[in-house]
């Protein structure tokens, strides 16, 4: 116990006087465990669950008991928001057959049981709306699925293949318009399913990201070429989704802040995009990176995407989430204290320890109420 607390205390020392005053002497709430409000939605804290594909859907994209246990467990674990995995807006928007979807009423009804439980646990249920674009139609190991095994023709802004995958069909303008409506219909269904936050997945080299990046888009019409043209598909989806969901439902956009590749999308582009989205009803930018091309050169380390979040945050007035190798309570707190982000999203650390928020709260000398059935196990002021 002392070792863990000692490490946390040592970490607190590097946070500077501001946090030291707040935590060391007065023992007031940390930023990480203070509530956060977007529109009329208040999150109990700023430690949120990042979207994570589970490859555990039943037939036809229907979420299963696995999703209830997985996402429900995260909500029980104390996170402020629990985001689904990339949830496909149409069948061809899945990466593979084991991905969940939100393109029909059966899926919405199955999600409802899950959103209800997440809400009952005090977390806000969020859905990530996604289309895999040219990276879809693959097995879990990334091998293209042949038609006889349920494979389909992938789509993209241009007939440019992702390295090792088949050439996608270049979308016509009519098909682009239909896809914008498809995202809006999925958003409407998400509300029926009880989701209280909608995130548009515009990152990781999937369909929307393929429009944004010059490495995926060589169109010569109004959806390609200039920066504004490449952003048009996303801007249209944002407008359609915003119009499809209630006023009080926050809308997030996840982007890859950089392609980590020559001639690709840059952090500067991400800052420009943030300015472009200002005033369109986007409430939070969720800042990830990479995934556009296989030859990307990523430098990974603790909090490696936080500088991107900070840059986008400074570009406009839209709040941002930082994600990526955030695994320590003190580290997460410091990101917020330093103004690197407004909230943090955590992925793998919460797979390892779904109840990690309770431990993190103790390390930051903050309060996080345990669910009543587990109350006998709660930390009593320190970690045993
Ligand atoms: C198993 C797994 C599945 C993931 N699936 C998604 C996904 O569906 N959508 C998405 O935007 N990011 C996805 N990610 C990326 C995470 O949201 C997150 O950005 C990344 O794991 C870095 O955060 P971490 O270091 O806290 O795990 C996935 C990551 C993991 C580990």
Q: Whose CA is nearest to atom 28 of ligand 1?
A: 52
- For 181-217, letters b (16+ CB in 10 Å) and e give ebbbbbbbbbbebbbbbbbbbbbbbbbbbbbbbbbbb
Q: Residue 13 pLDDT > 50, yes or no?
A: no
Interval 310-330: pLDDT, tens: 999 999 999 999 999 999 999
pLDDT at 216 over 50: yes
Query: Which domains does the chain show, CATH number per domain?
Result: 54-323 (3.20.20.70)
Residue 9: its pLDDT value, please? 33
Pocket lined around ligand 1, Cβ cut-off 6 Å: 50-53, 85-86, 128, 201, 203-204, 254, 288, 323-326, 346-349
Query: If you average pLDDT over residues 78-84, what whole number do you get?
Result: 98
Of 346, 381, 384, 377, residue with least CA distance to 366: 381
The Cα–Cα gap between 122 and 22 comes to 26
Structure tokens, 366: 């903050």
Distance in Å, CA 55 to ligand 1 centroid: 13
Instruction: Give residue 10's pLDDT band: very low, low, confident or very high (50, 70, 90).
Output: very low
Of the residues 36, 55, 162, 206, which is catalytic?
206
Instruction: Name the pLDDT band for 59 (thresholds 50, 70, 90).
Output: confident
Q: Kindly state the percentage of the chain with pLDDT values over 70.
A: 92
* Mutation choice for ligand 1 from 47, 48, 49, 51, CB with most ligand atoms inside 8 A: 51
Residue 291, φ and ψ in degrees, nearest 5: 100, -10
CA-derived radius of gyration, the chain: 21
Q: Which of the four pLDDT bands, split at 50, 70 and 90, describes residue 18?
A: very low
pLDDT band for position 28 (cuts 50, 70, 90): low
Give pLDDT, residue 29. 77
CA gap 234, 240 in Å, rounded: 10
Measured CA to CA, the distance from residue 162 to residue 274 in angstroms comes to 26
Give the pLDDT of residue 239.
98
Q: Which of 10-19, 253-262, 307-316 has the lowest mean pLDDT?
A: 10-19
206: annotated active-site residue: yes
Report whether pLDDT(102) > 50: yes
Comparing 51 with 21, which gets the higher pLDDT?
51
For 234-254, the pLDDT digits (tens) are: 999 999 999 999 999 999 999
Is 338 a residue whose pLDDT tops 80? yes
- Whether 349 has a pLDDT exceeding 50, the answer reads yes
**The predicted structure's pLDDT at residue 14:** 39
């Amino acid at each position: 116990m002392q070792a863990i607390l000692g490490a946390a205390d040592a970490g607190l020392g590097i946070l500077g006087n501001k946090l030291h005053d707040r935590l060391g002497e007065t023992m007031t709430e940390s930023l990480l465990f203070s509530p956060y409000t977007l529109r009329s939605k208040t999150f109990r804290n700023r430690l949120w669950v990042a979207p994570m594909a589970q490859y555990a859907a039943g037939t036809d994209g229907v979420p299963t008991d696995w999703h209830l246990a997985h996402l429900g467990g995260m909500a029980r674990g104390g996170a402020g928001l629990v985001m689904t995995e990339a949830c496909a807006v149409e069948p061809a928007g899945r990466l593979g057959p084991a991905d969940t979807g939100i393109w029909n009423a059966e899926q919405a009804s199955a999600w409802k049981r899950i959103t209800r439980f997440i809400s009952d646990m005090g977390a806000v249920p969020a859905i990530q709306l996604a289309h895999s674009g040219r990276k879809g139609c693959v097995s879990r190991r990334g091998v293209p699925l042949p038609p006889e095994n349920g494979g389909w023709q992938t789509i993209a802004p241009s007939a440019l293949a992702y390295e090792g995958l088949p050439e996608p069909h270049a979308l016509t303008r009519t098909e682009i318009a239909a896809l914008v409506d498809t995202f809006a219909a999925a958003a409407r269904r998400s509300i029926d399913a009880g989701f209280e936050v909608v995130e548009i997945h515009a990152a990781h080299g999937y369909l929307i990201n393929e429009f944004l990046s010059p490495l995926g888009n060589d169109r010569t019409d109004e959806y390609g070429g200039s920066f504004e043209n490449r952003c048009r598909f996303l801007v249209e989806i944002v407008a359609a989704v915003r119009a499809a969901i209630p006023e009080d439902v926050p809308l997030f956009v996840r982007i890859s802040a950089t392609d980590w590749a020559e001639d690709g999308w840059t952090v500067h582009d991400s800052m420009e995009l943030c300015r472009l989205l200002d005033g369109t009803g986007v409430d939070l930018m969720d800042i990830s990176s990479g995934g556009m091309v296989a030859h990307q050169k990523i430098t990974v380390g603790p909090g490696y995407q936080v500088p991107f979040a900070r840059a986008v945050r400074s570009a406009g007035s839209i709040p941002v989430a930082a994600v990526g190798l955030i695994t320590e309570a003190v580290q997460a707190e410091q990101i917020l204290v330093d103004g690197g982000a407004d909230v943090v999203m955590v992925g793998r650390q919460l797979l390892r320890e779904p109840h990690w928020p309770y431990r993190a709260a103790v390390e930051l000398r903050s309060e996080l109420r345990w669910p009543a059935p587990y109350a006998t196990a709660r930390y009593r002021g320190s970690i045993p």
